Structure 1
Amino acid sequence: MDLQLDQLRALDAVISEGTFEAAARRLSVTPSAISQRIKALEDSAGRILVQRTKPVQPTESGLTVLRLAKQVQLLTSDTVRELGDENQPAARLVNIPIAVNADSLQTWVMSALGRAAAGVTFEIHREDEEHTTRLLRDGTVMAAITSTAAPVQGCTVRRLGAMRYRPTANAEFARTWFPDGPTAQAFAVAPVILFDRKDDLQFRLMRRYTRRPVDPPRHYIPSSAGFSDAIRFGLGWGMMPDLQTRPGDKLVPLDRAVHIDVPLYWQQWRLDSPALGMVAATIAEAAAAALL
C-alpha cells in the first residue's frame, strides 16, 4: 500500500471531527479535497475505511489505518521538533490522546500532566479503568491508565500502583442506615451511590456481607467530585478512594477493616516517541507519590 501523509491526516480529521466539512475546516482545505484523499486512501487500502454517516464512523479496517495515522503523526511531530524547525506547526505542539479513569483524573493525574505540558496538548477520554483498553485497541488513544495488566497488542505496560477504596458514608447516614454496622440487611435497603451502570465496586463490597444479590436504592452520579460530595451530603454510601478524603470530613468507614485495592497500569503504544516517553515518565513519578 502507498499511504500518503495527507491522506492519513484526512482520515484522522474526519473521524475526530465527525464530518467531511469539519475535517476540511481543521485542515484548511475544501471538503472535496478531504473526500478525494479518503477515496484515494481507500483505493490504496483496497477496502472501505469510513462509513459515510453523521457522524462519520470508521469501519474495522478504518480503525486499523486510523491507528497508523496517529502513530505517523506523532512520530512526524517528534522528528520535526528534534530538527528544530520552529516554523513548522508540528514543531510547536504534539497532541497525545489519553484514556484516564475519573478518580485518577480528579486526584493525581492532573498534576502529572501539568508537569508534562510543555510542547504537548492532551485529549483526555474519561473512562472506567476496566474499559480504557478498548480505546487503545481501536486507536482512539495512544496511552491509557487501566486496571488490565495484560498488554494490548502493540502496547507496553507498566504497573503504577493501586488506589485504595473504602465503604464510606457521612456519620449521620451511617447511624441511620447502619445502626448495627455493615450487615447484609442494612446493605439491602441503604441507598448506595454508583458512578454509572458499569460501576461494580460497591456490589463487589456488598457481596462480602450479603452472599446473595441485593437490590438497594441507588443514585447514579457520573462525576468523581460529585460522587464524593454525594457521600458527604448523605445521599448514600459508596466506595470512596482514600485520596479524596479531606481534613475535617465528617465521614466514617462502614467497616474500618475492609477496603478494596484497585491496581492501575500505564499502557501505551510501542513507539520510540520522546513526547510519549516524557508523558509516561511524569505519570509514573506522580503515581509513585500518590498510589500504594
Structure 2
Amino acid sequence: MTLRRKFKAWLPDIFPSENGIQNAPRKTGGFFNNAERSTVHNSTMTAVQGNQYNTVTYSEGNRHIMAQMMGLLSQHIIRDAAHDSSARQTSSELLWITGPAVVGKSAVVQTFAEYLVKSHFLVVYVFISRPNKRDNPHGVFITIAYQLATRIEAYRDYVVERLRLDPELLSGDLQAQFTTFIIEPFTVKKLGAGGKRWGILLDGLDELRGIDEQCEIIHLISSFAHEHPNAPLAWKIASRPESRISHTFEDKEVRHIYAEVAMQFIRDPHHTDPVARFEVLLSVINRSNTVPS
C-alpha cells in the first residue's frame, strides 16, 4: 500500500466525517492516535449528545442575544485569518511544523487543510500574517472561539451565555482567554467528550506580534495538551525556527509533549510543488511513528 493510500485509510479513524458524526454512535476516539508528541478551519460540526453541559433553548429574545454576543465576539477576531477553500492548520495532541522562510510550510499546511476539508474532516485553520496585519496575539484564541462557535451548536451556546454574563471576557489576557474559550468548555463542561477530536492549526506563529506572547501561546497549548490528553482538541503549530520559539519548544516542561516535523529547503523543482511537499511531510510523520503503521 502506498503512503498516500495508507494515510487516506488512516484518516477516517482520526477525523470524523460529517455523516459519521451525525449517524454513528459516540465513542472515545483519538486525533493522531498513538502519536508521539500534534497545531488544524472550515468544518461542519454537530452538538455533542448528552447533558454534560447546559443547552440554551432560544426564544425570539434569546436569538437576539445570541446574535449580539456572536457579533461582539466577531469584533475581536483576527480578520481574514481563517482558512477557506479559496484562500490560504511526547503527545498526540501537539505537532510543531518548522522550517525557514520560503521552504513551503504554509503551502504544505494549506494542502493538508484543504485535503481534510474536501474529505469532510473537521478543521480550524488560523493563518497569521504580519504584512497583512493579521498578527494581534489577543485575537488568536478569540478567532478560534468564533470559528468553533459558528460550527458547534453546544459551544456556541456556551460562548453566548458566558459573554452575556461578562462581555469583558474579550478584554482578558491570553491566559484568561484560553481558560474561558478552551479549558472551561472542553475540560469542565466536557463539550465533545467521547467523540472524535477537532484539529486546530496555527500557521505562522512567528508572525505574531510580541515574542513573549508567541512563547506564552506555546506554553498554554502544550500545558493543555499534557494535562488534558482526552480533550477533543489536537493542535498543529507551524512557524519558522526563531530562537525564542525553538528555545520554548526545548523547555523541559514542553519538549516531551510535542512531535516535530522539520522542513528543509530543497533546491529541487519537484519539491516546490505543495502536493510533493505534502508527500514529504507524510513520509516524515510516518517515519516518526505519528502515523499508525
Q: TM-score, normalised on structure 2?
A: 0.24
* Higher share of residues assigned strand: 1
Q: TM-score, normalised on structure 1?
A: 0.24
Larger Rg: 1 or 2? 1
